Structure 1
Amino acid sequence: MAGAAAGLALTVSLTGCRTDGGGSDASDSGKPGSGKSSVHLTAAQEALGKAADKTADLKSFRATLSTSSVVSGRQTDLKGDLAFRLKPDPAMKLDVPAINTSGKTTDGFQEVFTGDTIYLKIPALAKRAGKPWVSFTTAEVSKATGVDVKGLQSQGRQADPALNAKMLTASKDVRKVGTETVGGVSTTHYQGTFALSDALSKLGTEQREEAQKIFNQAGLDKLNFSLWIDGRQLPRKITLTTPPGAKLKLDTAMNYVDFNKPVSIKAPAKSQVVDGLKLKGAGSNVPG
């Protein structure tokens, strides 16, 4: 997508699958009437649990994404607009107008995911292809990146805010820091840290294994976070940052602007698309 660093940053904030509801986890342990004699939760931990529960049945959402990552002294920054339909069938649309790498601004990209195909609109590829869009199947992306993209996408929950909220319930030190307005909405701000080993335990087996590969490659074992929750217990903003000394320096933010509003996502017209495998070297531009 935007290079390995940006691709990883997107993966950290977007990739994954929420677990099925009804499991035995922090979001329902210790609740009145739950029948569970588990560790007492703080008010902040209970708030995170409620947010995870509230997002479990979302059908669609829109968000803005901002990511800054540094690897070996090379910094990559990007901002984009994301639309995602979770149900009845998953589909995603991401628009990143520009990418800044070590002070140099280059053209961004557009990405559409629907069915089992990812479509990319990248100027450099378009010039070679002779058409605006290049397509890759999820199987091709999985082969190029080593990540089971089909396994993740088939669950229909990549980029799901419920994933983020669920993983944050692994925090043992989350605390309320105040109230703030985010996007014109009144929210409560929480901060904390979580160990990735604890957060990954919130995921299903296959998704946990794939995410573990990604985090291991980056040398990540812990993340700092901030979470802003509105009066409906929905996350309005989530930020993730790496601690000092991490192999990868990451600062990413998701601002959620709409929930459960209609999202229209369609594949580009066939006449505007070239099969990515027919372009020599196109695999290096596969997202991830």
Structure 2
Amino acid sequence: MRRMAPALALGAAALVAVAGCGAQQNTVALGNVKLAAADAVQQSAQKAEAVTSYSADVVLDTKGGGQQGSGKVQGSMLYQSQPELATDIRLDTINFGGQNVPGGARAILTDETVYVKSEMLNRIGGITKPWVRVPLSQVGAEGQAEIRKFMDQARQFDLAGTVKLLTASKDVKAVGTETVGGVDTTHYSGTFPVAEAAQLVDPAQREKLQEGLSHAKDVKFDLWADAQSLPRKVTLSGSEKDATFNLTALFKGFNEPVEITAPPADQVDDLPKGRTGN
């Protein structure tokens, strides 16, 4: 179960296309246009793809599968794609198997470099400064296991990838209207088959998604989209044998200016080679 949610997140981050859906004869008014629910989800995915900046609050809970399978990750994210790609991710709570990561963790991606702030990582690497600098090209390299784990967890915040997963659904329907964060939205609910969602994933990540969700046939989702089709809230839930996961993501600040800067140079150190596990 510990692998399920990170694998799902990897799939969301790696999606490169929108899947075709079987159209439901369940329509909803969007402005002056009536769309089938499946078409509305497709449109929401397209709108999410075009967003250049946003902020998100995310909570992931896993339960069952023994003590090692239960845990919680909670945090927030700032994202921008222009004028250059940059993210600032804070994981205030990281708990798996009853063990807390003290102080949580934070990662800033800018200028092709990842800066990570983590008490645990500093202890493992013997680092005295608050931040660790790792070139993005080295994140997947041997000896960067702790960095990779953190980045896998952080991918749960991805807006466009998360919504694209939902387009694999063949049973989505509109279930009503609700207010999310003070914004009027239409609520959609459905499931997407894991096997088909896996086909949307970059081949390099497909095996991880299929392995992590090998016993989960379908993933249930709920989407709350506003009048402009922008996704304001997404929930994902699923089960694998006797374990379950629930992911809730709230999105806001679409296309608003964000401030993402690298930490001061005197607070940054380089990660020593060979000091983290494989």
Q: Same fold (TM over 0.5)?
A: yes
Q: Which residue of 1 aligns with 2:177?
A: 179
C-alpha distance in 2, partners of 1:126/1:137? 17
C-alpha distance in 2, partners of 1:114/1:274? 16
> Which one-letter code corresponds to 2:190 in the other structure?
G
C-alpha distance in 2, partners of 1:263/1:6? 31
Q: Which one of 271, 279, 285 corresponds to residue 266 of structure 2?
A: 271
1:200 offset after TM fit, Å? 3.4
Correspondences of 1:194-273 after superposition (within 5 Å): 194-203=192-201, 207-219=202-214, 220-243=216-239, 245=241, 249-273=244-268
C-alpha distance in 2, partners of 1:14/1:164? 5
What's the C-alpha RMSD, in Å, of the aligned pairs? 3.2
Q: Which residue of 1 aligns with 2:31?
A: none
**TM-score normalized by structure 2?**
0.78
Q: Which one of 191, 194, 199 corresponds to residue 193 of structure 1?
A: 191
> Which one-letter code corresponds to 1:175 in the other structure?
K
C-alpha distance in 2, partners of 1:215/1:84? 27
Indicate the SS of the match to 1:197: helix
Indicate the SS of the match to 2:84: coil
C-alpha distance in 2, partners of 1:277/1:221? 42
Matching of residue 76 in structure 1 with residue 77 in structure 2: no
Contact 1:16 1:159 in 2 (8 A): no
Q: Which one of 98, 114, 119 corresponds to residue 118 of structure 1?
A: 114
In 2 relative to 1, CA 7–118 (structure 1 residues): closer, same or farther, beyond 3 Å? farther
Indicate the SS of the match to 1:112: strand
Contact 1:241 1:252 in 2 (8 A): yes
Correspondences of 1:102-117 after superposition (within 5 Å): 102-103=97-98, 105-107=100-102, 108-117=104-113
Matching of residue 46 in structure 1 with residue 39 in structure 2: yes
1:89 offset after TM fit, Å? 2.0
C-alpha distance in 2, partners of 1:14/1:48? 15
C-alpha distance in 1, partners of 2:15/2:110? 17
1:99 offset after TM fit, Å? 2.5
Q: Which residue of 1 aligns with 2:135?
A: 137
1:61 offset after TM fit, Å? 0.9
C-alpha distance in 2, partners of 1:104/1:67? 15
TM-superposition CA deviations, 1:88-110 (whole Å, max 9, x none) = 32111111223334555442111
> Which one-letter code corresponds to 2:71 in the other structure?
T
- Which 5+ residue runs of structure 1 have no aligned equivalent? 28-38
1:221 offset after TM fit, Å? 4.5
Kindly indicate whether structure 1 or structure 2 has the higher relative contact order, using CA contacts under 8 Å at least 6 residues apart.
2
C-alpha distance in 2, partners of 1:229/1:15? 20
Q: Which residue of 1 aligns with 2:60?
A: 67
C-alpha distance in 2, partners of 1:172/1:218? 19
Q: Which one of 9, 13, 16 corresponds to residue 14 of structure 2?
A: 16
TM-superposition CA deviations, 1:212-246 (whole Å, max 9, x none) = 32431453553111111111111001111113627
In 2 relative to 1, CA 59–133 (structure 1 residues): closer, same or farther, beyond 3 Å? same
> Which one-letter code corresponds to 2:265 in the other structure?
K
C-alpha distance in 2, partners of 1:137/1:119? 9
Q: Which residue of 1 aligns with 2:51?
A: 58
The total of aligned residue pairs comes to 254
Contact 1:9 1:250 in 2 (8 A): no
> Which one-letter code corresponds to 1:130 in the other structure?
T
Contact 1:59 1:88 in 2 (8 A): no
Indicate the SS of the match to 1:143: coil
